[in-house]
Amino acid sequence: MNLLRSAIKSLQKTFRSFRFAIRGIGFVIQYENNTRIHLLASLAAIVAGMLLKLNYIEWTIIITQIVLVWSAEAFNSAIEKIVDFISPEFHPKAGAIKDIAAGAVLFIAMGAAITGLIIFGHKIWILVA
């Protein structure tokens, strides 16, 4: 009986963790302006992938890029919230931390865009040629 109770409590903790994680994703989507751009780009990539009939390797690469960009945006948002909490007033070092985190998102987003151009550009080139 103790084993069953332990398993149930473990499942409850897991579901609670998922609930907190989903709430965090919702927070990023609702309150961060750049997520609207990421959402549109993600949807465009998925629709383009369906229309251009990507193979499983291309899909894996595109989905990985989408997840990387969204993860970077989530980390950036968390870093910004931490910095704002620790340093409510402007401080040059706090600003630098936020700029570096935002730069990381830009770096990943640019890499994702280039990857998308390579994959989708190749597919379109084949269709047009």
Positions marked active-site: 73
Annotated binding-site residue? 89: yes
CA dihedral 60, 62, 63, 64 (to 10 degrees): 80
Annotated binding-site residue? 32: yes
Both tokens of 50, joined, read 């369906």
Annotated binding-site residue? 84: no
- The span from the CA of 59 to the CA of 92, in Å, is 42
Annotated binding-site residue? 98: yes
Annotated binding-site residue? 80: yes
Annotated binding-site residue? 90: yes
DSSP symbol at 48? H
DSSP symbol at 127? H
Annotated binding site for a divalent metal cation: 32, 80
Annotated binding site: 32, 73, 80, 89-91, 98-99
Annotated binding site for substrate: 73
Annotated binding site for ATP: 32, 80, 89-91, 98-99
